[in-house]
Structure 1
């Protein structure tokens, strides 16, 4: 009996060791370090439960450091198996260098419309290298309690927008609008790219800039800067030194009535406000009643495969799941404000997320004007737009000066603009 028991124990140990040896751990590189808990508690367990033998480790870097950290890891051969992809140029460069794999033959790619895949394709559309995950929508959040106290309703036109800001400023209880100039990108992303599509008419203007038929010194591109210059009077004392976290805090603590932003803040702000007041949202105001509404519905995040992974089969299995309707529903509700790009309709539970996504029914969508093609050269138009937007808001540059500088920089390397 003792011998039999020892043999059984030995066999059990060997077989158990063999099973453990078959387990594969996939590591995900990402810049989204604020949703680590959601991946660990909700998203990864759902995949692992359906795919025994594959473990997943979500290992994010700080957002501002992600590109540099990821490139260093890829160069050293130490990067994770799965690469979270930023839209357009950063990911296209990785693909062009052979760092991330061609996923065109992935079955799940059939679940996405062409516009969703365009942010992670070669210019000719021949290769798709990341599975689309979500877009974010720009707009304005507001404190419903503050609006109720002052008898205000969300503005629909630009004139109504400034009338609301004037009323809030006159009352002096709240800072009319929370936005700073210290981090620069905030002024461009939440300012210029938020309201700009209203003036350059979304995709019409963005594509005209790419083909060279419009210039950054044309009225549709200068007018958004003029609007930003007007914002200066409503941002409160010391906005010039105010950082992005400062702006977030002013709004979540109930000190500012309006916050120019995007849907990506929904999941962050909800727990912080925790019933202190109710948030609402409105889209960028139109120039005049009856005008077409435009929103930046920006393709934001996707996932690709490290071309050097030692586990391509398992990584592709995970990516097939990322392209599924199951993942789309899970992700959109775990991270409200990150809207699925999957062709399958997703029912969202968060009312503020429902409000943002409802604008797709009444507004024309576009993406950020600087992201596709126009930031491939030096000076980088995206980064220069950060600086120009902040300068216009602080008064360091006039709208016309900022536009002329951006145009000069773009024309210095981009042939259609010369």
Structure 2
């Protein structure tokens, strides 16, 4: 009898444990659904450099502390972002929150929730209104920061060789040649992490604006928009990139260099110029005496003007079919608090997208210095069909590897431009 009672007690004890384990497992499964443990929002972002990721992770952690019932499952796919989002768009299964990275209306518009009823819209920087708001008043995404790209330069290097930031492309080429000669080849005049196609895409995209858009005598914007553009004038850019390679004004390993190498080389004063804006934080961790500057894209044609290349950088849109619209809006509202706006602007070293906070940004004195320079939208976002970024970047790789001539690059651009325009027209 005693043995029977002991067995019965043991069975009951095991049953309680199993029930407890089953309950725990069920809670895990409901995490992310409308269960008692709250919901999980999926979030995809294009942030790639470590400083930006740290800034975003810090803000997400603060949000989850304040709203423990809402979990953020964040993803930073880097170079795989666009391909992953295209798959999700095709399946109509988007993340709850996602980065529109310059395509809030043209590419992602039909997948985004209208955010016009949110309080933060009143603080949207006027420079971004046309980008995020359509003629019907729909607001497509929340701007974490805004782009103001040109070139980043190593101020220590330019000061050492007595070089002023160039205003024109001819001055830019002269500066590159001077740096090579004066440093005896120890400093790379213009550096590319060309193992990633986007490095060359950035060069072509930024310089296309002064070449083809902003000078009144060389304004091809209408032809680009209506599909009649003759790509011959574009050949100037691959010709100049090839000339830079032949004169050893870019790094010898431009086709294989990894983007992450840039930080260390800048810290060692081994690079003079890079495309776009490079955060100073990681560089100064390696060299506290490092000094970087930013400048607009030089003018190309005589009488032309410099241009900042900008608009939307990192954003969060809410998927229109999310199961958790209120929770997603709660996250956006959290981001729009002045102290969080400031934290993200300073953490990413870029101007904020809202006007309700003042951020201490390292490059702000340079933005102030060139405050009279117009901010032009990224060339590909306005004038090229969706999908042109990849062929634009790979054309640079093929050019420097010797498989394409400058004329071939323009022909490739023309072919892809026509193909993708026709593809858009058939959709």
What is the distance in 2 between the residues matched to 1:64 and 1:301? 15
Q: How does 1:239-250 map to 2 (within 5 A)?
A: 239-250=254-265
What is the distance in 2 between the residues matched to 1:390 and 1:355? 35
In the TM superposition, what is the alpha-carbon distance from 1:165 to its structure 2 partner?
1.5
Q: Is the 8 A contact 1:192 1:228 kept in 2?
A: no
In the TM superposition, what is the alpha-carbon distance from 1:266 to its structure 2 partner?
1.0
Give the length in aligned residue pairs: 383
What is the distance in 1 between the residues matched to 2:413 and 2:224? 14
What is the distance in 2 between the residues matched to 1:348 and 1:290? 35
Structure 1 runs not aligned, ≥5 long: 1-19
Residue number in structure 2 paired with 1:149: 160
What is the distance in 2 between the residues matched to 1:195 and 1:161? 12
In the TM superposition, what is the alpha-carbon distance from 1:144 to its structure 2 partner?
2.6
Structure 2 runs not aligned, ≥5 long: 1-34
Q: Is the 8 A contact 1:81 1:315 kept in 2?
A: yes
Q: How does 1:211-360 map to 2 (within 5 A)?
A: 211-212=225-226, 215-219=229-233, 221-232=234-245, 233=247, 234-256=249-271, 258-263=272-277, 265-267=278-280, 269-287=282-300, 291-336=304-349, 338-342=350-354, 344=355, 346-351=357-362, 353-358=363-368
Residue number in structure 1 paired with 2:15: none
Residue number in structure 1 paired with 2:46: 31
In the TM superposition, what is the alpha-carbon distance from 1:74 to its structure 2 partner?
7.7
What is the distance in 2 between the residues matched to 1:273 and 1:231? 29
Judged with a 3 Å threshold, the aligned counterparts in structure 2 of structure 1 residues 363 and 373 are, in CA distance, closer, same or farther, namely closer
Residue number in structure 2 paired with 1:66: 81
Judged with a 3 Å threshold, the aligned counterparts in structure 2 of structure 1 residues 196 and 248 are, in CA distance, closer, same or farther, namely farther
Q: Is the 8 A contact 1:92 1:121 kept in 2?
A: no
Q: Is the 8 A contact 1:83 1:306 kept in 2?
A: yes
Q: Is the 8 A contact 2:298 2:305 kept in 1?
A: no
Residue 376 of structure 2 is aligned to residue 366 of structure 1: yes
In the TM superposition, what is the alpha-carbon distance from 1:303 to its structure 2 partner?
0.7
In the TM superposition, what is the alpha-carbon distance from 1:299 to its structure 2 partner?
1.6
Residue number in structure 1 paired with 2:205: 193
Deviation string, structure 1 residues 335-365 (Cα, Å, up to 9, x no partner): 21x32222x16533233x2145336622121
In the TM superposition, what is the alpha-carbon distance from 1:138 to its structure 2 partner?
2.1
Cα RMSD of the aligned pairs, angstroms, is 3.7
| Aligned counterpart in structure 1 of residue 408 of structure 2, from 371, 382, 401 | 401
In the TM superposition, what is the alpha-carbon distance from 1:157 to its structure 2 partner?
2.6
Q: Is the 8 A contact 2:195 2:258 kept in 1?
A: yes
In the TM superposition, what is the alpha-carbon distance from 1:382 to its structure 2 partner?
1.7
Judged with a 3 Å threshold, the aligned counterparts in structure 2 of structure 1 residues 359 and 261 are, in CA distance, closer, same or farther, namely farther
Q: Is the 8 A contact 1:178 1:251 kept in 2?
A: no
Q: Is the 8 A contact 2:225 2:383 kept in 1?
A: no
Q: TM-score, normalised by structure 1?
A: 0.77
Q: Is the 8 A contact 2:149 2:309 kept in 1?
A: yes
